[in-house]
Every structure is written in structure tokens, then in C-alpha cells.
Amino acid sequence: MIIQDAREGKISPVIRSVAASEGLEDLQILNEISQGRIIIPVNRNHGKIQPLGIGKGLRTKVNANIGTSRDCSNIDEELRKLDVSIKAGADTIMDLSTGGDIDGIRREILRRSTVPVGTVPIYQVAIEAARNKKTLVDMTAEEIFSVIEQQAEDGVDFITVHCGLTREAAGRIKKEGRLMDVVSRGGSFTIAWMIHNKKENPLYEHFERLLDIALSYDMTLSLGDGLRPGCIADATDRGQIQELITLGELAQEALSKGVQVMIEGPGHVPIDQIESNILIQKSLCHGAPFYVLVPLVTDSAPGYDHITSAIGGAIAAMHGADFLCYVTPSEHLRLPTVDDVREGVIASKIAAHAADIAKGIKGAMNRDITMAKCRKKLDWEGQIKASLDPERARSIRGSSTPSDKDVCTMCGEFCAIKVLNKEENWGF
């Protein structure tokens, strides 16, 4: 048990591994885990993955969402996305499958992944209800917990659960008025269920039952933000903050029981509101790791949402977000292709890395210093090796051959570096 071990002062192999990979002291990791400010999402049934820390003082991590849909349910394609994500540097994978054999796909992804795997169990519950009964609102609380238990047993490392989406919070968005109401799938399922069954959200009402399951498997809870804003105009409204208050209370309860927990955050947020969103989460949730989904800074760029989210993700991480969910160029338009997944992971890695430089994460500058030195020496092979995506850098440079091998086709002999490398003594 990760939190219990930490609280007993036991430097477990998992803590040692995370400390080594971050270049930090074992005791620092141990202390932050016991306070709930760092998590290491590893289900005890998913043992062979490399332990990964998320939270205070650590490198900003990146998640890639993969998984089938009704219209695209080819498992081989999703496994290719898994491989491509990990190769591009994704730190975790979420399987969000909603089409085909959902149990089979998840188990295959768990078997193959070398990084922690997350899911959103309510998807499976709702889809099975829609398939086997009349509609998704026919799902029962029992079914929700049964699917969660099954996924925990399969070895899922972290699950998104929209426990803070109460009738009270949902009511507030109606009262205030929103352009887009709810854009979270899990959020919409939960609200539709609460409307039809005239009951409170079972994941809120029976939160202790959820904690028991999580504790049995050392599974991490990612407390979802079902009311995250779906457009800039809806950002940081009363419904969103109401849900966050509840998530803070639930996180405290989870932590007191020894369950690792992180908090999910918005969403579509204008640049000037991102810092406040991070600060209020950190304050209301006592420093719990913040998983952002990931501030899209404009609604108007479908086809380029990997860029809108790289802007928001970098700013969020710079102000303290710990974990960025990638967004691909096909967000809002279609299920991503393998190429989209790759582009999405790289864009988020760029955002995470730029933020890590800005917040002084240990070792973050090393790569940039290497790159700068190689550029100054006109060492092209060194530049390519220091790149976040060496294959892409090599391919672009290779596509346009300069007549002088030591420069590139943009400046040629008029390369600023080359011009001044000839001048040893400036005399001023």
C-alpha cells in the first residue's frame, strides 16, 4: 500500500524508483506521498510497469487517451496508438473505449502497456446498459460498482470517477446559465441518470464503497470534473467551482483512508483565467495533484486543438498543474488516427517541458543547453539527437539539402552563427 508504506516511513522500491527517475531524494517523495501531494498510480495487479510519480516538484507528466468508439472499433488500430503514444513519450495511457469488446480491449492494453493505464468505468456501465437494456439511464448503482471492481481486478492503475457531480452542483449551472451545459461524457451520463432516477450520484453517495475497492487494489482515483466548461464563455463558473469544492472534501476523505487521489480540471479556459484555476484547485484540494484536460484557450481552432491545448497546458503546468491530458488535432471532429495521437503527445510533451524549464524542475534545462551548444557548434547530428522528436527533425532537415553542409537552407552562408564563429576577437 503506497500511502500506508510512506506513512510508516518505509522507503519502498516504488518510491526509490520514482526518486531515482526524478533525481530527487527518497525522503522527499515519501513525505509528499504521505501528504497526498504526490501519487504513484500502480494497481497491485499491474506490476510490471515502470513506477511513475505525479505531483509536487516532479516533472510534468502527459497522458494520451486512446480507445475505440462505436464507429471505429478496430483493436489493432488502438494498440498501434498505444505503441506510438509510448514511443512519443506519453507517461500514461487512458483507454476510453466505447465500442466493440470493451473488456477485451482493456485487458489487451493492460497487458501490452509499459506505462500506467487509466479508464473511465462509467463508460462501460452506460454502454452495456444502452446495449442490454433500453438506454444508458437504466444502469444501476450496483452495475457501476461491479464494473469498477472488475476493472480494478484487471489491473487498471487509475480511474476517473465523477464523484463530485452532485445534484446541487449540476443545478447551479442551470441556475447561472451556460452556453454549452455539460461536455464531459461521464458528466452527461451521470446527470441523465440523476434526472431519470431522481436520485443523488451513487459515486458521491457511496463514496466509501469506492474507497474500499480502490484500497484493495491500491488503485488511484482521478476525481473527474463532470462540469468542466466546454467553451471559453462557460469557464470558471459557479457550477464548476461547486463541484471542485466537493472534490476537495472527497480527496481529503480518500487521503485519510490511504487512497491515492488526483483532481481533474478544466477544460476550455481563457489564458487570463488559467493561473486562478490552478491556484483555487491547489487550495481547495490541499495540494492534491492536478490533472488538466487541458486548458483549450480558444474554441475556434478545430483541427489545431493540439496547439490550443499546448498553449493552455504550458501555462497551467507553469502555475502548478502536474499532469496534462493530451489533445489531438482531431478533437471535436473525429476519433483520432494514429498520426493524430502522435501529434497530440508531442504537442503536450512540448508544453510540459517548457513549463518544467519555467518552474525550475531539476534537469529540465539540460536538454536545451545541449541543443544550444550543438547549434553554436553547427553540430547537426547533435541537434537532431537532442530533439524531442529526432525523427521529425531529421526528416525535415533531410528534405532540403544545403550546399554548405554545416548550415541549413534558410540562411546558407549567411547563417548568423557561422558568420560570427569566424570572429575570435571582437575588440569590444
CA atoms within 13 A on the CB side of 222: 34
In this structure, what C-alpha cell is assigned to residue 135? Answer: 438506454
In SS3 terms, 110-173 reads as HHHCCCCEEECHHHHHHHHHHHHCCCHHHCCHHHHHHHHHHHHHHCCCEEEECCCCCHHHHHHH
The one segment of 29-37, 241-249, 285-293, 353-361 that binds its own copies by CB under 8 A? 353-361
Contacts (CB under 8 A) with its own copies, residues 148-187 = 167-168, 170-171, 174, 179-185, 187
What is the end-to-end Cα distance of the chain in Å, rounded?
A: 64
The region of 27-35, 202-210, 237-245, 330-338 touching its own copies under the rule CB under 8 A is 330-338
411 binds its own copies (CB under 8 A): yes
For residue 363, state whether it binds its own copies (rule: CB under 8 A). no
DSSP 289-347: -EEE---BS-SS-TT-HHHHHHHHHHHHHHTT--EEE---TTTTTS---HHHHHHHHHH
Nearest approach, Cβ of residue 301 and its own copies (Å):
5
401 binds its own copies (CB under 8 A): yes
Contact at 8 Å (CB) between 318 and 359? Answer: yes
* Number of helices (H), then strands (E), in the chain: 19, 10
Tell me the C-alpha distance between 115 and 393, whole Å.
26
- CB-nearer residue toward its own copies: 214 or 325: 325
Site residues for its own copies, 192-211, by CB under 8 A, read 192, 194-195, 198
Q: Which is nearer to its own copies, 123 or 217 (CB)?
A: 123
> Which of the stretches 7-15, 215-223, 278-286, 408-416 binds its own copies when contact is defined by CB under 8 A?
408-416
Question: What span, in angstroms and rounded, lies between the C-alpha atoms of 401 and 148?
Answer: 55
Q: Which one among 301, 338, 379, 382 touches its own copies, defined by CB under 8 A?
A: 301
* 271-300 positions binding its own copies, by CB under 8 A: 271-273, 297-300
Task: Report the phi/psi class of residue 401: left, alpha or beta, with left for phi > 0 and alpha for psi in -120 to 50.
Answer: beta
Cβ closest to its own copies, residue 137 vs residue 141: 137
Least distance CB 8 / its own copies (angstroms): 38
Given the complex with its own copies, which of 9 and 302 has the nearer CB atom? 302
Asked if the peptide bond before residue 341 counts as cis, ω within 30 degrees of 0, the response is no
221 secondary structure, DSSP code = E
The binder of its own copies chosen from 63, 98, 124, 277 (CB under 8 A): 98
11 touching its own copies, by CB under 8 A: no
Window contacting its own copies (CB under 8 A); options: 108-116, 138-146, 259-267, 309-317: 309-317
Residue 127's nearest CA partner among 101, 160, 156, 151 is 101
Residue 357, interface with its own copies (CB under 8 A)?
yes
As a whole number of angstroms, the distance between CA 4 and CA 9 comes to 9
Using CB under 8 A as the binding rule, whether residue 409 contacts its own copies is answered as yes
In the set 43, 97, 260, 308, which binds its own copies (CB under 8 A)?
A: 308
Residues 113-152, one symbol each (x = binds its own copies by CB under 8 A, - = not), give: ----------x--xx--x-----x----------------
Measured from the CB atom, the residue of 98 and 113 that comes closer to its own copies is 98
Span from 43-51, 155-163, 246-254, 366-374 in contact with its own copies (CB under 8 A): 366-374
Q: Where do we find the cell 459515486?
A: 203
Q: Does 314 bind its own copies (CB under 8 A)?
A: yes
Residue type, 212: D
Cell numbers given for 142:
450496483
Specify the residue, 65 or 260, whose C-beta has the smaller distance to its own copies: 65
Name which of 244, 210, 251 is nearest 226 in CA terms: 244
When the beta carbons of 27 and 365 are compared against its own copies, the nearer one is 365
Give the SS3 label for residue 21: helix
How near is the Cβ of 259 to its own copies at its closest, in Å? 27
Is the CB of 8 or the CB of 413 nearer to its own copies? 413
Task: Report how far residue 168's alpha carbon sits from residue 191's, in angstroms, rounded to the nearest whole number.
Answer: 11
Applying the rule CB under 8 A, the residues between 35 and 94 that interact with its own copies are: 69-72
The Cα 353–Cα 341 span in angstroms is: 18
Amino acid symbol at 10 = K
Shortest Å, Cβ 26 to its own copies: 29
Contact call for residue 369 and its own copies (CB under 8 A):
yes
Residue with cell 460498482: 145
Residues in 218-237 that interact with its own copies by CB under 8 A: 230-234
Is residue 250 near its own copies by the rule CB under 8 A?
no
- Nearest CB to its own copies, comparing residues 33 and 90: 90
Cross-strand bridge partners of residue 29: none
